[in-house]
Amino acid sequence: MKQKLPIYEHFFTWQGEGIHQGRSAYFIRTFGCPVQCPWCDSAGTWHPNYIPNSIEKISPEVLVELALKKKPSILVVTGGEPAIHDLSELTELCHKKRLPIHIETSGAFPIRGTFDWVTLSPKVWKRPIKESMHLADELKIIVDSENSIEDWLSSNPEILQCKTIWLHPEWTQRNNPLILDSITDTIKQYGDPFRAGYQLHKLFSVDQKDPGSKPNIPIGGNPSLGY
């Protein structure tokens, strides 16, 4: 039987974060995530209060066909946590069609499939496994308190081996001067590999403008709604 992947949403937009920021991108958001961040901005993929009544299952062939129709520069697989699914067939098809395929993952699960770009966004409560850390082309640390960066550096100094480490304010904290200053201070203190990051697509509401995108369901930095 042919593989089908549980898909929460898929839409044509541009990449709002990281080194590939601003490139046209077809996004595939898989369903399911055991990481359960209290500030998740994709709660519809896993939170019992927000999951849809039914989840579409789509074959890798159909997903690639849908993406190719839009002629994107890249295809980005995100979630949820995409690495809980076997994405080998999807990546093989993309390679055959010469469509670069990227993944955004917490790194807590082995990545199945060969990706052209790996963005790893580690979480302290579900730490990344070594093999995924080695595959990361860039790290994205979500800064949700003024101590977040220091906590990462003291508990995981090996992250400094990554070529690029983005420091993103958690979206509900994007105007918090303590958080923003902690990012600035880190960049001024260390320089590379740190970079200040931002979720530019949210300012443009660009994802929401594609009919394939579902309304945003952010938990909104409320720990009582997380786990």
Q: Pick from 5, 7, 28, 35: which binds ligand SF4 (CB under 6 A)?
A: 35
Residue 188 CA to residue 59 CA, distance in Å, equals: 46
**Could you tell me the smallest distance in angstroms from the CB atom of residue 187 to ligand SF4?**
23
3-state helix, strand, coil in the chain (%, to 5): 30, 25, 45
Can you tell me the distance from the alpha carbon of 217 to that of 116, in angstroms, rounded to the nearest whole number? 29
Question: What backbone phi and psi angles, to 5 degrees, belong to 93?
Answer: -65, -40
Q: Which of 36, 59, 164, 172 binds ligand SF4 (CB under 6 A)?
A: 36
CA distance 48 to 89: 29
Q: Interacting stretch for ligand SF4, rule CB under 6 A, among 57-65, 76-84, 151-159, 160-168?
A: 76-84
Instruction: Report the residue from 25, 37, 159, 183 that binds ligand SF4 according to the rule CB under 6 A.
Output: 37
Give Cα 58 to chain centroid, integer Å. Answer: 20
Residues 119-178 interacting with ligand SF4 (rule: CB under 6 A): none
75 binds ligand SF4 (CB under 6 A): no
Which residue's CB is nearer to ligand SF4, number 35 or number 101?
35
Question: Is 81 a binder of ligand SF4 (CB under 6 A)?
Answer: yes
By C-alpha distance, which of 176, 178, 131, 186 is closest to 153?
186
Smallest separation (angstroms) from ligand SF4 to the CB of 190: 25
Pick the piece of the chain touching ligand SF4 (CB under 6 A) from 15-23, 38-46, 85-93, 202-210.
38-46
- 10 Å CB burial of residue 211 (0-12, 13-18, 19+) is exposed
* Contact between 103 and ligand SF4 per CB under 6 A: no
Tokens in use for 211? 């009919």
CB of 41 to ligand SF4, least distance (A): 6
40 is a site residue for ligand SF4 (CB under 6 A):
yes
Tell me how far apart the alpha carbons of residues 37 and 48 are, in angstroms, rounded to a whole number. 13
Instruction: For the CB of residue 92, give the shortest distance to ligand SF4 in the complex, in Å.
Output: 25
The verdict on 33 binding ligand SF4 (CB under 6 A) reads yes
What are the residues facing 188 on neighbouring strands? none
**How is residue 22 annotated by DSSP?**
T
Size, binding site for ligand SF4 by CB under 6 A: 11
Report the interface residues with ligand SF4, using CB under 6 A. Answer: 33, 35-37, 40, 42, 45, 79-81, 106
